[in-house]
């Protein structure tokens, strides 16, 4: 009897949520106001993080920038202050170091306030075949791309739960949904970040903290220098994305409180095909789209006096 009751209830909820989603496709939900919200962006010193900070500044949010690159952080601050009177704060922080995250987070809470929108954007890529990746760089990839999300959530989520207000944004990757040649460690960490964010989405719902929103972003390669040298085989189908475009799409997803955002839209269809095709068909599709050669000309972004030549540590 319980099975029948639960099934009827489940079916009713599915129908309701389907109609709700269909309605939102026709009439998009009202975009929320983020003026006065405290937005913390890891990797805010350049690339996508900088573009996100600039976009949020135009919406009159209070901006908190974290980056391992102090000079890059200062430059983002300068750009924001030139364009608006928005409050912006910059902190040098290595997100891969747990205690450093906790220490700087405490400083942010004291000097700025409780973070209400957290965007985990910092990331690194090695761009080597699995057996060519040094062990320490595999550990570093996990520390920056995945474990740092645990530490920032531990630092800022409790205040969000207490207030039942906040927004958690995970910048994963298309490589966090499908494996790619030459990106074994990167894919693994982005899969981990995606799974962690999705798990918390369900967990927050179960504890009835539904006013804490979750958005998971899965973009294709972004033209920030992080994947310098990579070329898309079919740019009309899978273009290398421009940071301003991606930042605007992320802002739209946050303001509309979308849970998932895959860029470009064509990637969503590719992921759907992956779910329904036989494994060998998936391999054939990945090869057709250039997945086996996309990293062949990878260079990455190198900065003097930062990291050894086998890696690129910068932010999306």
> How confident is the model over 180-202, as pLDDT tens digits?
889 999 999 999 999 999 999 99
Q: Domain-by-domain residue ranges, the chain?
A: 31-315
Write out the H or E segment, with its range, that includes residue 63. strand 62-67
Regions of the chain with pLDDT less than 50: 303-316
Strand order in the sheet with 166-171: 88-92, 62-67, 38-42, 117-120, 166-171, 212-219, 260-263
At 283 the pLDDT is 87
Between CA 13 and CA 136 the distance in angstroms is 47
CATH code for the part of the protein at 31-315: 3.40.50.720
β-strands 122-125, 312-315: how paired?
antiparallel
pLDDT tens, position by position, 112-152: 999 999 999 999 999 999 999 999 999 999 999 999 999 99
Separation of alpha carbons 215 and 206, rounded Å: 17
- The predicted structure's pLDDT at residue 275: 85
Q: What is the pLDDT of residue 270?
A: 85
Residues catalogued as catalytic: 186
């Amino acid at each position: 009897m319980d099975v029948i009751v639960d099934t009827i209830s489940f079916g009713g909820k599915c129908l309701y949520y389907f109609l709700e989603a269909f309605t939102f496709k026709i009439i998009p939900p009202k975009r929320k106001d983020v003026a006065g919200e405290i937005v913390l962006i890891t990797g805010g010193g350049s690339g996508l993080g900088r573009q996100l900070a600039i976009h949020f500044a135009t919406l009159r949010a209070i901006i908190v920038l974290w980056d391992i690159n102090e000079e890059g952080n200062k430059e983002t601050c300068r750009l924001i202050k030139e364009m608006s009177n928005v409050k912006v704060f910059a902190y040098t922080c290595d997100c891969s170091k747990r205690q450093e995250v906790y220490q700087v987070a405490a400083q942010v809470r004291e000097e700025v306030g409780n973070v209400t929108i957290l965007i985990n954007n910092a990331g690194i890529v090695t761009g080597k075949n699995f057996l060519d990746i040094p062990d320490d760089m595999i550990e570093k990839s996990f520390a920056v791309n995945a474990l740092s999300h645990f530490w920032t959530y531990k630092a800022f989520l409790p205040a969000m739960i207490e207030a039942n207000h906040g927004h958690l944004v995970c910048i994963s990757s298309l490589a966090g949904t499908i494996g790619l040649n030459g990106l074994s460690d990167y894919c693994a960490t982005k899969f981990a970040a995606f799974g962690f964010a999705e798990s918390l989405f369900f967990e927050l719902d179960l504890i009835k903290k539904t006013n804490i929103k979750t958005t998971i972003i899965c973009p294709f390669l972004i033209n920030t220098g992080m994947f310098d040298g990579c070329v898309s085989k079919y740019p009309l189908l899978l273009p290398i994305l421009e940071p301003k475009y991606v930042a605007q799409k992320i802002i739209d997803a946050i303001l509309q409180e979308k849970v998932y955002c895959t860029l470009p839209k064509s990637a969503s269809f590719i992921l759907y095909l992956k779910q329904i095709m036989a494994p060998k068909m998936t391999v054939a599709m990945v090869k057709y789209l250039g997945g086996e050669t996309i990293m062949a000309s990878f260079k990455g972004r190198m900065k003097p006096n930062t990291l050894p030549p086998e890696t690129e540590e910068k932010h999306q």
